[in-house]
Amino acid sequence: MSQAEPFRYDAEVKPGEVRHIRYEISETYMGDPVEIPVTVVNGEHAGPTVCMTAALHGDELNGVKVLQEVADAYDPAEIHGTLVCIHVCNVPGYLAQQRYIPIYDLDLNRSFPGKEQANTAERMANVIYNRFVKQCDVALDFHTSTRNRTTMYHVRADMANPEVARVARAFGANVILSGEADAGSLRTVATTNGTPTITIEMGRAHRFQPALIERALEGVESVLAEFGVLPNEPVIWPGWTRVIDAEAEKTWLRADRGGLVEMQYGQVPLVYKGDTICTISDHFKTEEKRIEAPFTGLVVGVLQNPVAAPGHPLCHLVGVDDATLAEIEREIENGEFSERPWA
């Protein structure tokens, strides 16, 4: 049996040790350090290194709570491998409670793997990636929707990559949206460089949603079981899982007029072609525009701010094939599919 190894960044965390780190990745205008909070739990037994990241977008908080709980839950005497929890990646955005790095609106999750000599976001990404993510075997990246929107609990993963597919299925979400991530995202860069990575999308910005957080914690434990970090725990089976192919029809339905938005679809996010998803009315309720589904699919994300102007996104609709439609209809009939993104 192989021996457990230290986890090394600038320093090292020895087997059997838990270390809470504040690691400098930038400086403020005053020259004070900008530090990311990181927890490393290095197990006494050899095994894979699993990285978890949250708040790459500073207003996305559900993942922050997930990682707080994960970092507190596991005893190094019991785990086979290492957990690396980067609690808040985008510290400047987090402090301002906004999505992007302030002032210049730089997207940290389009800046990987980063550079030593570049803009603020790329410098931060360079440190996060090279000090902590790069040496990990598996990565889970937690996100929510942005402000004024919400997203259904689901996983995003490149299911054409067998190693990524293993992680995604082990996480145990009912819905997996398959496809490559954007260039410069942590998921794309880490996966390309040999660390299979999935994105977990879960709910709304600026809040904790306990039901989603609990499901995500179950998913984390299932992944740890799948990869032998928790060899005595089971890999969860959520009852059913459907992978929605990258080529599936998808669109953001947008407002073509200003007014008040009211969602009209039912208690589950499955809509059929021609169904009314929402209405937009004027303040006198003398004019009303019905927004209909252009194809049958799942409402993955919706607007939560009930006012809209022309061009505002209202609903993210993703098409489903016949097999997926039949599975979802069966689960709805059995009372097992109660996802509603904006509930």
Rounded mean pLDDT, 261-278: 92
The helix (run of H) or strand (run of E) holding residue 211 is: helix 210-226
Pair 37, 78 in one domain? yes
Please tell me the distance from the alpha carbon of residue 114 to that of residue 122, in angstroms, as a whole number.
4
CATH number at residue 207: 3.40.630.10
Q: Count the neighbouring beta carbons within 10 Å of the beta carbon of residue 196.
A: 21
Please tell me the distance from the alpha carbon of residue 219 to that of residue 200, in angstroms, as a whole number.
10
Q: Helix or strand or coil: residue 200?
A: strand
Pair 86, 226 in one domain? yes
Summarised one tens digit per residue, pLDDT across range 134-159 is 999 999 999 999 988 999 999 999 99
Q: In angstroms, what is the C-alpha Rg of the chain? A: 21
Domain around 137: 7-244
Pair 43, 122 in one domain? yes
**pLDDT score for 338:** 66
Q: How confident is the model at residue 247 (pLDDT cuts 50, 70, 90)?
A: confident
How many domains would you assign to the chain? 2
Summarised one tens digit per residue, pLDDT across range 228-240 is 999 999 999 998 8
**pLDDT score for 339:** 65
Q: Which residues are 129's β-sheet partners?
A: none
Pair 117, 240 in one domain? yes
Question: Roughly what angle, to the nearest 10 degrees, separates helices 162-171 and 210-226?
Answer: 130
Pair 121, 179 in one domain? yes
Q: Count the neighbouring beta carbons within 10 Å of the beta carbon of residue 91.
A: 23
The helix (run of H) or strand (run of E) holding residue 224 is: helix 210-226
State both tokens at 124.
């931060």
Burial class of 104 by CB neighbour count within 10 A (0 to 12, 13 to 18, 19+): exposed
Decide if 27 contacts 34 (C-beta within 8 A).
yes
Of 184, 219, 244, which residue sits at a domain end? 244
pTM of the model: 0.95
